[in-house]
Amino acid sequence: MRTFTDQLTRYAAYHRDQRNIATHLIGVPMIVFAVEILLSRPVLAGDGAFALTPALLASVAAAAYYIALDRPVGVLMTLLLALLVAAAAPIAGQSTMTWLAWGVGLFVAGWIIQFVGHVFEGRKPAFVDDIIGLLIGPLFVVCEVLFFAGLRRDVADAIERELGAKLPRRGLSGQLL
């Protein structure tokens, strides 16, 4: 298994333009929430707050992977996924039309935002070359917020050391940083 820094570095190579990163800060959470909503409808067992759904199973599996990569960030990801599962359940309990409107609407809008970002980037999304990119995307977004807040500088610096000379970052104006 690749390390935490390796995974983020591979993903960051496809995300050097700050405009693309900005679109990911909006689009990725929309997509993750949409998936949580859509996977919360089929209840496998239980009910209410303790319902066993594909959303819960997928979130537990993703959380275990994130924790295996990096315990502190993995715990944060687990908390965020738990909040999304909890927020998705009431929407999934609405009428089929409401459930689908929210789930499909957020999913499509999120991907449109993502693809606009990749137009700025001039590069295809990471998951096209490595499907694990679909799982690393949410982790990347959370880490970008952490980096912006001055946290996990060790990881941010390692990524920049690896990619800086090969793939310089572009600012919001598109100019090289």
pLDDT at 177 over 80: no
How long, in residues, is the chain? Answer: 177
The pLDDT mean for the chain works out to 90
In this predicted structure, the answer to whether residue 54 has a pLDDT above a threshold of 80 is yes
Half-sphere exposure of 35 (CA within 13 A, CB side): 18
Alpha carbon 173 to its chain centroid, in Å, reads: 24
Given this model, what pLDDT does residue 166 score? 62
- Of the candidates 122, 174, 120, 117, the one whose C-alpha atom is nearest the C-alpha of residue 140 is 117
Give me the mean pLDDT over the 166-171 stretch. 60
CB 33 within 8 A of CB 106: yes
